[in-house]
Structure 1
Amino acid sequence: MVTVAEAKRRITENTVALSLEAKVVSEVLGYVLATDVTAGLSLPSFRQSSMDGYAVLHTDINNQNISLPVVAESKAGGTSKITLKSGTAIRIFTGAPVPAGATAVIMQERTSVENGNVIIKEYPVLENLNIRNVGQQIREGDIALAAGTYLSAGAVGFLTGLNVQEVEVYRKPKIGILVTGDELVKTGEALGDGQVYESNSAMLVAALKKEGVYQVEVYYAEDDLAATISSLELLATRNDVIIATGGVSVGDYDYVGKALEAIGAETIFYKIRQKPGKPLLFAKTQRNYFYALPGNPASSLVCFYEYVLPALRLMSGRKDNFLPSFKLPISHAYSFNGERDEFLKASVSNGQVTSLEGQESFALRSFAVANALIYLPVTQQNVYAGDLVEVHLLPL
């Protein structure tokens, strides 16, 4: 049995990023950039107005209420060949080219117009007021985004504005989910005595989709060693990661560990000193990673968020792979006995964290409304209202 910290260390040390692939920029949301992107043009590529107003020569505004004749207009998408002469003003709009000779833009709210003249109410006027200069955001030839950048919606917009059409990213893992347990029934079917509806696969598929992983297949196996071996072998030929749910404890019908040994997988660790989620197994071959999660749904989801998700992020090129972690005061007292660290389903609000009712390993209702996990090591078995506890924010 390993500690929580040791389990995370071993996963990190035994996980490497996947191969690279080229993707069009419109499809890279949630991926990680594998190579630097160099700007092929400056942004802005011309001097732009950041306001609706009037382009002027700032030195012409030597006192308040200067009146200047409006001699032309510059609009977004219009020509940039207009030249401003001293003693005049040009009507201009947001995003429009700033005329040659103009050194400031007065926002229209600080002006008034009378008989074709604009009266400037702002004084003094600084040079470059309300002007976006060439290359203010990025200059041609500079690195626009560095390798390792997580590609957000803003990154997609930025790259598109640079006319970047394709980038190299880290491939996302293909996932095979193996469901074991003869007591499990698919939704929509009639329940027999001693049977329950299988929810782990739907839960894990949803969590993977939230992470932007869509290449997922679900396979069901009987509680039989030969069936478990063949299922794992089949999934391993088509996927990078295989996640098994159930069949990993010490019962007579728990075959996943034996099946992994039979197919030649190296066990990196088995069992973690934590509650819930003690019977977690992590193994690997040259081509695949295997995670055997506990069958109880809440235990399974805790292990997915704390161990599997960080590994999938590492495989996808991310460096910020673990859940965001910080300290918050707990709203109430809590204590536990035993020699295992505890993860509690929790809710963060108003600057504090509250553990929820229903902490049992089978209980998903509390997970349905949780937005965080509280991590309490065995050294912190007794906490009181207001004590600081470690909080891991869930990716909702």
Structure 2
Amino acid sequence: MITVQEAAAIMSARWLPPKVESIAIANCVGKPSPNQSPPIATIPRSNRVMMDGIAVNAAAYAAGQRTFAVIGMATAGTPSATLANPQQCLEVMTGCALPIGTDLVIPYEQISIEQGTATLTHETNRHPGDFVHQQRSDCAAGALILQPGIALKGIHIGILASFGYSQVQVETTPRIKLVATGDELIPIEETPAPYQLRRSNADALRAALLASGYTDVDIDYIPDDPAIITAHYQTNTPDYDLLIYSGGVSKGKRDFLPAIWQSCGVTAYIHGVTQKPGKPMWFGIDHMANTIVWGLPGNPVSGLVCLHRYLLNRTLYSGKLAEAITFKPNLTFFVPVKVGAQQILTPIIPQNSGDFTALAASDGFIELPQAQTVFNAGESFPFYPWY
């Protein structure tokens, strides 16, 4: 068996590189931001007026001039006007290019215009560049627009559009199939016998994946039959980047999956991790099909914890324990917790790794290190949210 840290390093180094596709910018929301080419132009492309008013020569204003003959109007969407005479001014509208020969905008609220002459009515400190959005102040040519890998939101879409990206190269999420195994599993809408269970693990895993931005996630349910499992694997491998199995990876006589995967040519990198829950976790790669195969324990708490710790892997912060925990086995211990004020974490310890309902009151889990047995109230540990 290997440690949690060793398992995380092995998996991180072997996740298949993301694929890239070009999609319309309107469809980019939620996608990982691209490694985009740097812009060839600056933003803004010219000095831009930020208030409706008049544009004047700041030197003339500094010399004491307070009235200016209005000789025209500059509006958004038209080429830059030119002011040749500093004794004059141009009316300007928000968003227009600052007229050549001007460098100061005075809002309408501070002037009056009568018979073609603008007169300043409010005396205040004014400086060159007032109410002017300076050229290149947002982004210069060659600068990085967005950090790669962030989930694109509305503001990011607007930024990309302003640089001319009608099509965006984005990373696609992997094609994932969840495969729940077990003769005891029945459809959700049926009433289980005492020896049966409703299908729930795969639905919980799929919901967590969808909430984390994975969009291509399918589910299959198959019995503990080696022939069916083998045929299912061979049929599905070419169509998916990641196969996640729930159940069938422990040491029981009906846990067929590791042997089947080996017979199908899958290279095993992990089988058994010093952790609770999730000790039987399995991980390998079918290098011929370029598909990752990940076997999660069938107990629901184990599966969810492993998914969040090794794939979603979103640590928000380290929170402080509200009460002490003693755990003597030489294992990393994942403990569901409820988040309180000031990131104080109250443990909600399930009766066992099949106690799904205990998770309902929790917000996520903390990771208690293997080398420690007593975890005192007030100590800080990494927190992984369920969402």
TM class, shorter-length? 0.7 to 0.9
Seen in structure 2, the aligned counterparts of structure 1 residues 346 and 214 have a Cα distance that, compared at 3 Å, is same
Matches of 1:371 and 1:57, distance apart in 2: 60
8 Å Cα contact 2:315/2:382 also seen in 1: no
Seen in structure 2, the aligned counterparts of structure 1 residues 238 and 82 have a Cα distance that, compared at 3 Å, is same
Matches of 1:137 and 1:185, distance apart in 2: 58
**Does residue 1:376 correspond to 2:376, yes or no?**
no
Mapping of residues 272-351 of structure 1, within 5 Å: 272-286=273-287, 287-309=290-312, 322-324=313-315, 326-351=317-342
8 Å Cα contact 1:17/1:170 also seen in 2: no
Matches of 1:32 and 1:120, distance apart in 2: 52
Q: Deviations over 1:277-332 (max 9, x none)?
A: 111100111111111111121211110111133xxxxxxxxxxxx42353332233
- Partner of residue 160, structure 2: 159
Matches of 2:107 and 2:167, distance apart in 1: 38
Matches of 1:112 and 1:365, distance apart in 2: 69
Seen in structure 2, the aligned counterparts of structure 1 residues 66 and 246 have a Cα distance that, compared at 3 Å, is same
- Partner of residue 392, structure 1: 384
TM-score w.r.t. the length of structure 2 is 0.87
Matches of 1:361 and 1:223, distance apart in 2: 21
8 Å Cα contact 1:64/1:123 also seen in 2: no
- Partner of residue 235, structure 1: 236
Q: Deviations over 1:354-382 (max 9, x none)?
A: 13425342334454454442111133432
- Partner of residue 56, structure 2: 56
Q: Deviations over 1:175-203 (max 9, x none)?
A: 11111112212222232232222112222
Instruction: Report the Cα offset of residue 97 of structure 1.
Output: 2.3
Seen in structure 2, the aligned counterparts of structure 1 residues 52 and 252 have a Cα distance that, compared at 3 Å, is farther
8 Å Cα contact 1:333/1:382 also seen in 2: yes
| Contiguous gaps of at least 5 residues in structure 1 | 310-321
Instruction: Report the Cα offset of residue 146 of structure 1.
Output: 7.2
Structure 1 runs of 4+ aligned residues shifted over 6 Å read none
Q: Which moved more, 1:248-257 or 1:234-243?
A: 248-257
Instruction: Report the Cα offset of residue 243 of structure 1.
Output: 0.3
SS at match of 1:37: coil
Residue type of the partner of 1:273? T
One of 339, 344, 349 as aligned partner of 1:353: 344
Q: Deviations over 1:28-71 (max 9, x none)?
A: 33444565413243321222123344433323444999455665
8 Å Cα contact 1:74/1:93 also seen in 2: yes
Residue type of the partner of 1:58? A
Seen in structure 2, the aligned counterparts of structure 1 residues 163 and 255 have a Cα distance that, compared at 3 Å, is same
Mapping of residues 104-123 of structure 1, within 5 Å: 104-107=104-107, 111=110, 113=112, 115=114, 117-119=118-120, 121=122, 123=124
Q: CA RMSD in A?
A: 2.9
8 Å Cα contact 2:348/2:362 also seen in 1: no
Q: Deviations over 1:234-262 (max 9, x none)?
A: 22121111000111122232222222122
Instruction: Report the Cα offset of residue 100 of structure 1.
Output: 2.1
Q: Deviations over 1:218-239 (max 9, x none)?
A: 1111112222222222221211
Seen in structure 2, the aligned counterparts of structure 1 residues 380 and 85 have a Cα distance that, compared at 3 Å, is farther
Seen in structure 2, the aligned counterparts of structure 1 residues 26 and 232 have a Cα distance that, compared at 3 Å, is same
- Partner of residue 102, structure 1: 102
Q: Which moved more, 1:181-190 or 1:46-55?
A: 46-55
TM-score w.r.t. the length of structure 1 is 0.85
8 Å Cα contact 2:308/2:384 also seen in 1: no
Aligned length: 381
- Partner of residue 317, structure 1: none
SS at match of 2:371: helix
- Partner of residue 253, structure 2: 252
Matches of 1:215 and 1:382, distance apart in 2: 42
Matches of 2:76 and 2:365, distance apart in 1: 50
Matches of 2:47 and 2:194, distance apart in 1: 75
**Does residue 1:39 correspond to 2:30, yes or no?**
no
Residue type of the partner of 2:210? K
- Partner of residue 21, structure 2: 21
Matches of 1:87 and 1:349, distance apart in 2: 65
Matches of 2:22 and 2:9, distance apart in 1: 31
Seen in structure 2, the aligned counterparts of structure 1 residues 259 and 135 have a Cα distance that, compared at 3 Å, is same
SS at match of 1:5: helix
8 Å Cα contact 1:20/1:170 also seen in 2: yes
The share of aligned pairs that are identical, in percent, is 24
Matches of 2:10 and 2:150, distance apart in 1: 24
Matches of 1:174 and 1:122, distance apart in 2: 65
Instruction: Report the Cα offset of residue 383 of structure 1.
Output: 2.7
8 Å Cα contact 1:246/1:293 also seen in 2: yes
Q: Deviations over 1:116-168 (max 9, x none)?
A: 7453536332221221122322344x244478443522332212111222233
SS at match of 2:310: helix
